[in-house]
Amino acid sequence: MWVVNHRKILFAIIGTLIVLSLLSFFGWGLHFGIEYTGGSLLEVNYPGGRPDTTVVQSELAPLNLGNYLLQPTGDSSYVLKTGELSETQHEAVKNALSQGGKVTIEEKNFTSIGPVVGSELKRKAIIAIVLVILCIVLFIAFAFRKVSEPVSSWKYGVVAVITLMHDIAIPAGVYGLLVHFHGAQIDILFTTALLAVLGISINDTIVVFDRIRENLRLNREGRGKEPFDQIVGRSLKQTYLRSFNTSFTVILVLFSLFLLGGETTKNFALTLLVGMVAGTYSSIFFASPLLVTLWKAQDKK
């Protein structure tokens, strides 16, 4: 199959995409949400129309909030991000935003997180990602333990993990764009989305691997002499449509979540969506050709 035969070109394209994504994610600097850094976020709505940014800024000036970020959001709301606020400071800020009670405000959302919690969550997120990847390699090596010829089962695990790294690198890259151009932040939901992509996007890779496993068995039982790369190619040909379809149903629901779901889960849905798309093409264009490359490399030895 052409996917297996032209794998070098595919690797070049996918490699470029990964590099671009990493550049986009890390290159513009990481902007962590307050869950990870500690700090406060206050969202207020002005039912009677939102005052000018400069007005609000001048009201906030006497409070000495240090570095803060004031963003208009929605039709008539502001989001204010500051360092961690105590309850007294919180009351003072609300008072300033309502211009001493002259303007009605509705507090839609207030979150204040201590720095300790933040750094702890960051550590947890990293542990979780490493743990999920590790568990999946072990699991795949175990699930494919009976197919150690001609490629040993742990190599399936390694290929799955390299594919997974790609599957989270691409959504991270797109998120990098969101961070840079739309003021999104690396928050809990973003990490959750990456973790979910890790768990789900592996499915269609497994569909293809499972078929390779089956075809290898049939080949051995029939005493066939079909080389490994052709078996991989044939397995791909037999399964790429269903591998696409399983992801397609997930992509459909994510699309509706992205378009219609609440504001809070919009970026979350987009990250998942990109991750699923990446997971789908990588299982066809990346994982299986990679398996063949590993086989070729061990053949030369």
Partner 1 sequence: MVKTRVIAILLLAVTALLAFFLWTSEHNPASRFHFRLGLDLKGGTALTYKADVSKIDPSKVSEAMSTLRDVIERRVNLFGVSEPVVQVEAGGVVGSKEAAERLIVELPGVTDIKQAIDLIGKTPLLEFKLVQTVTTALPKLVNGKLEVSVDSASTTQQLVDTGLTGSLLSKASLEFNQNSSAPVVSLEFNSEGKDLFAKITKANIGKPLAIVLDGNVISAPSIREEIKDGKAQITGQFTVKEAQTLVRDLNYGSLPVPVELISTQTIGATLGEKVLNSGVRAGLWGFLIVGLFLILWYRLPGVLAVVALVTYVVIMLTLFKVIPVTITSAGIAGFILSMGMAVDANVLIFERMKEELRNGRALEDAMHEGFARAWLSIRDGNLSGIIASIILFWLGTSLVKGFALTLGIGILVSMFTAIVITRTYLFALGVKSQGGVAKFLFGSGITK
Residue 64 CA to residue 198 CA, distance in Å, equals: 43
Q: How far apart are CA 134 and CA 229, in angstroms?
A: 27
Nearer to partner 1, 16 or 109 (CB): 109
Shortest separation between residue 265's beta carbon and partner 1, angstroms = 5
For residue 185, count CB atoms less than 10 angstroms from its CB and return exposed for 0-12, middle for 13-18, buried for 19 or more.
buried
Nearest in space to 37 (alpha carbons), one of 125, 124, 120, 118: 118
Token pair 């070729």 is found at 296
- Nearer Cβ to partner 1 (27/261): 261
Nearest CB to partner 1, comparing residues 97 and 113:
113
Q: Which is nearer to partner 1, 20 or 73 (CB)?
A: 73
| Min separation Cβ 301 and partner 1, Å | 29
Minimum distance, C-beta of residue 9 to partner 1, in the bound complex (Å)? 28
Task: Tell me which amino acid residue 2 is.
Answer: W
User: Residue 71: enclosing H or E segment and its boundaries?
Assistant: strand 69-73
Q: How far is the CB of 153 from partner 1 (least distance, A)?
A: 12
Total residues belonging to the chain: 301
Q: Which is nearer to partner 1, 24 or 215 (CB)?
A: 215
Question: In this structure, what token pair is assigned to residue 148?
Answer: 């150690």
Minimum CB–partner distance for residue 274 and partner 1 (Å): 14
With DSSP H G I counted as helix, E B as strand and the rest as coil, what are the percentages for the chain, rounded to 5?
70, 10, 20
The structure tokens 């390299």 sit at 162
